[in-house]
Structure formats: C-alpha cells, structure tokens
Chains A and B, each alone.
Chain A
Amino acid sequence: MSMIDIKNVNKFYGQGESSFHVLHDINLSIAEGEFVSIMGQSGSGKSTLINIIGFLDDEFEGKYFYYKHPIHEYTRAQFSKLRNQNVGFVFQNFKLINTLSVGDNVGLPLLYAGEKRQAIKSRVREVLAAVGLSNAGEKKPKNLSGGQQQRVSIARAIVTNPKFLIADEPTGALDSQTSREIMTLFKELNQKNKTTIIMVTHDEKVALQSERIVHILDGRILSDEKVGV
C-alpha cells in the first residue's frame, strides 16, 4: 500500500530575484515497510527532499499525500502533530540536547505527545534496551561515543513507534565498524518491526544494504531502482 505519494513537488529557497530552485518536479511513491536510500552529490537536494518527506518542511509547491491525506494543505500546527505521531528522525550529527540526560532526550517525543512521566520512563527503558544502551539512561549525551550517541538518537526516533524513519546521513560521522552496527540496527528495525526507513547517504556500501536506491542530481530524480535487480 502506498504510504507516501509526492506529486510534482518543487522547492525554492529564498524569494524573488535571489530565489533558488532546489527541487524540480519530484515524483516519488514509497510503500509501507520499504527501506529506501537516497543518493547524490553534495548540494543536489537530498536533505531538502527528505525534510519535505518527514514533515519538517511545510514550504513547498506541488502535492504530498500521506495515506491519501493532502499534507500540502496542512497548517503549521498540524505539521507539529504529524511529526510527533508519524515519523522519527536520525541526523548525521545526532541532534541531542546536551543539557538533558540520555533518558530525557529519548523521552522527549513522548513528552510532547502528552504522555505521563511514568509511562514515558518504562517506554524509554524499553527502547534504550532495544538499541543496546540499557545502562546509559542517566548519562549526559556528551559522555557517550559517537556510535552510542547515534543509538540514542535512533532510540528517540523509534520511541513513539512511528510509521517511518527518516535518516539524513546517519553514518556520516561514524567509522566503518560503527556504521555497520548502525546499519544492522536499521535492518533489524525494518525487518522485525516493519518500520519504513528513508535514508540519505553518500556511501555506496551503506546504500546497498537497503532495498531501493533513488539517485538525485541537481534537484531531479536521475534513477530509482531496486537493489540487486
């Protein structure tokens, strides 16, 4: 079943004379349970696209249907709720709040979902265990290694049981050994939990571990093919 349907999406940065056309007539469909990689040169618009897919960017032209809902018509407040309840984010530089403990970072999406402290605590314990960081809840993110911090951000991304994950170069800041571990975690999430994953990466080896690769060049989709076909 088609989950994400993007139709003729264009994206401009800036306005008027100085406006910059980043995405050109993007059409893309992603079904539930897929594991998709987006590849392309630096500056080709990968992050811009994935931000639109993940409801982070509400300023675009064209149509975006999410389970047939017209997201392009949604207000800013509706986008907040949509993000909170449907999607988890993993970024290259982890994006953890350094003044909060690991546990509080992971529980943050649930806090904004209006959950009670007690419920949040037990759920946080669960997901930290799932990413292999059972004992890190009380620590500050700064005291963890890069790989561990990325695991924390993955725990935060899956804590609400989102429909899909978007990951913008999740292994970009990690060594190859740690990258492999993170990819193993993603594959596990995709195969066991049936979580849809959309991932931007530079690394061919990383991309080959997904099921489908979309190539982008200068804001246009160059190719879109299944891995190993």
Chain B
Amino acid sequence: MLFIELLKTSWQSLRVNPKRSFLTMIGIVIGIAAVITIIALGNGVKAKILKELQATNSGKQTTEINYYPNDSNAASQGFTEDDLTQIKNNFSATLSSVKFKRDTKNINNTVFLGNETRTATLSLVKGGNQHYDIDVGRNIAKSDNVINNQVALLNKQLAIKEYGTEENALDSALTVGDDTYKVVGIFTKPTDDYNVDFLLPQRTYLYSTSAQNGSIIKLTFNKGVKVSAASKKIVSFLKKNGSSRKTGSYEYTDMGSLLSGISKVISSLTYFISAIAGISLFIAGIGVMNMMYISVSERTQEIGIRLAVGASARSIMLQFLLEAIMLTVFGGLLGFLIGWGTAALISLALPFKAIVTVSSFLLAFGVSSLVGIVFGLLPAKQAANKNLIDILR
C-alpha cells in the first residue's frame, strides 16, 4: 500500500472521532506551548544582551555614563574635554577610548541673544530639513554644513518676543559658547525634535569649541575587561574629580547586569518549565496510548477486515502508529503557535522581544513526533498482531 494512502487512512480514522482526538491532543498542546514560550523569551533576552553589550568588531565592549544635573535648567552639560582627559589618564590600562556621545536634538546650552545671556534649547540639522516651515528668510542648507557656515534659525515665537517682528530678527547675532551665528531664517510649526529655540547646522556646531561638552560619554574598553566593574570605578572617580560633581550626579546604568539578571531568571525558569512540560508530555503520551488502545480494541473488526483483504501486519501497524503521530504532531504544531503567541504577549511587559526560531519549530515538531512514536508503538503493535481467525469468528 502506498504511504500516502496510509496517511489518508489514518487521517480519516482520526476524523471519525474529532472530540476524542482533540481532547487527547490537549496535553501535548500545553506541554509544547510551555516549552516554546520559555525558549522564545530566553532567545529574546539573549539577543538583547548581545545588542546591549555590543562588542565592537575587535571584541571590545562599550558602556555609557550619563550626567544628570540637579537643576534641569543648569547650563552645564556635565562632561568637559578636561573630564575626558582625566579619565583617559587614570584608566589607560582598561580603556581603549572615551568620547562624548553626541546629542543632536534638544541640547541645553547657554546662549547670548539680544543683549541677554540665557539658557536655550537647540537642535542640530544637516541641512534642507522638512521638519518645520520657514516663515521668513532661508533654511539651513547642506552647503552651510560643508563650509562650516555659522548660521542659525530662530523660533518664530522667540523672534517675535525678542524683536517684535520676524523681519527684525533676521541678521541678528546669536552667540553659543565662543561662536557667533547669524540668524538667517525664522521657522515655525516644527515637529517634536525640532521644537526648540534655535536650529544650528550640525557639522558647524560640532566643530566649534562650545560643543566640547556633553551629557553622555561613551567608554570603549580593552578586550577582556570586566566592563561593569570598570564603569563603576570610573563613576566613583567622576564623583570625586568630575568638573560638574557639585551640580549633578554621574550614573552608569548597568544594562548588562540588568539583562543578565533577567536572563538568569529565565534560564532557571527554563529548567523548571521544561521539567513541568516533560511531565505534561509524559502524561499526555499516556493519554495518547490509552486512546490508541481503546481505538484498537473498538476497531478489531476493521483490523480483521483489512487483514482479510490483504493488508500486511506492517501496514496495519503503520496505520495506527501514524494515527498516534498525527495526533501528537497536530498537538505539537498547535502548541508551537500558542507558545509563540504567549511569548509575544509576555514580552510586551519586558524590555525585549520574544524570538521564535526555526530550531524552536523543529523542537516542537521533533518532540511531538517522538511522543507519538513512543506512546503509539505498543498499541500499533497490538493492532498488527491480532489473530485474524479469532476476529472473524
């Protein structure tokens, strides 16, 4: 008999008793769903850790230290060139480099405008931006960045407040740090990141001395350094020696240890849930076996008839074995989908996404087939070994 016909025969038999087939499947569904859920979460946190503690191409890891001013209007951004030099000198053994992590949006800075020194917010633009409208004057062009042209755009509200009309504000001077920019345009209707007092050309600004500060620094460590401990040491160094230690605090968010904490919880949960799933699958397997034994004894006449018209013992065995496998594999696939969905739902509440891989799918498929084979084999053998003469009596 052709294998495909055997498959069809088994499928037909399962459909004769859909309720019983479904109930038998439930244990498999739950077991597989639990395993897939925990594996998907585990994969997710591992991927996140890799990304967070991203090693550079040479295997070096990086971390960041933030500065939080006590007074949110404070002009100081926290880190100066001087701080960087100090860190470099004191930690040259572990550090490979220290840089500002450049903010380009919503930067707080002290500016001099219309005879008055004030704290203002500014964002940097690369030129030709469409995130706001120009009311008067011109936009900052790409070419302004190329030649480090010191030009600025002024917010319409601020322009009217300071100069009465937009036109009056044009060509006025704006001093940021040591550099003076000429206002060439007035902008309005900005989108979120551009809802600031000034817009400056990015390259021009970053070139200037006033940019030699920052609120975040990026540390790159040499290979093999314990980055978390080393970062903490640098934070305590800054607390003693940092230029802005009196006006704010330095903080290192140990994303790595946070994530590895979650990861540890998930790995220990993985063992626990795998154990429970194992028990669940075992019991489900017994259920499958039980159902198959019942099915074999209910269908004794059918077995006899099939044997009488020429079925080999082997094809009878395969028919019943395939029934068991189909049952558990359907259960496994359903469990896979449910597990995937559950993991996705749970990860909404966690700082990472659940990841389902091909190997998770193969695991679900493999384990459920295995359960079908292991627990279907004995009933199938019993079916195949029935005595034809006894059945036909």
Contact = CB atoms under 8 A, between A and B. Distances in A.
Interface in B46-74: none
Contacts of A114: 1-2
A56 B391 CA distance: 11
A222 interface: no
Contacts of B315: 112
A80 interface: yes
Contact of B313 (A59, A80, A99): A80
Most chain A CB inside 10 Å of its own CB: which residue of B12, B302, B308 = B308
B143 interface: no
Given A51-B392, A112-B310, A112-B315, A95 B16 contact: no
Nearest to B388: A56
Interface in A25-46: none
Contacts of A99: 12-13, 16, 302
A156 interface: yes
A116 B311 CA distance: 16
A9 B355 CA distance: 70
Contacts of A81: 310, 312
A217 interface: no
Interface stretch (A83-91, A126-134, A142-150, A191-199): A83-91
B313 A85 contact: no
Contacts, number: 67
Contact of A91 (B5, B388, B392): B392
Given A56-B388, A91-B392, A77 B306 contact: no
Contact of B312 (A59, A77, A91): A77
Interface residues of A, number: 28
Contacts of A47: 393
B174 to A, nearest CB: 85
B304 interface: yes
Interface in A89-141: 89, 91, 95-97, 99-100, 108-109, 111-114, 116-117
A109 B311 CA distance: 8
B349 interface: no
Contacts of A84: 309-311
B305 interface: yes
Contacts of B311: 80, 84, 112
Give the interface SS of chain B, mostly helix, strand, loop or mixed. helix
A113 B310 contact: yes
A89 B389 CA distance: 13
B313 to A, nearest CB: 7
B310 A83 contact: yes
A80 B5 contact: no
A76 interface: yes
A95 B1 contact: no
Given A76-B313, A77-B312, A112-B311, A97 B302 contact: yes
Nearest to A120: B5
Nearest to B17: A99
Contacts of A116: 2
A111 B12 CA distance: 15
Given A56-B388, A76-B313, A97 B305 contact: yes
B306 A108 contact: yes
Contact of A112 (B13, B304, B309): B309
Nearest to B13: A99
A203 interface: no
Contacts of A73: none
Nearest to A57: B389
Nearest to A108: B309
B120 interface: no
B255 interface: no
A81 B311 CA distance: 8
B312 A80 contact: yes
Contacts of B307: 80
**Pairs of residues from A and B, 10 with the lowest C-beta to C-beta distance, nearest first:** A84-B310, A109-B309, A112-B310, A80-B312, A99-B16, A83-B310, A112-B311, A112-B1, A97-B302, A95-B305
Given A57-B389, A77-B314, 20 more contacts: A51-B389, A56-B389, A80-B311, A80-B312, A80-B313, A81-B312, A83-B310, A84-B309, A84-B311, A89-B308, A89-B309, A95-B304, A95-B305, A97-B306, A99-B13, A100-B12, A108-B309, A112-B1, A116-B2, A117-B5
10 contacts: A51-B392, A80-B311, A80-B313, A81-B310, A89-B308, A91-B392, A95-B304, A95-B305, A96-B305, A99-B13
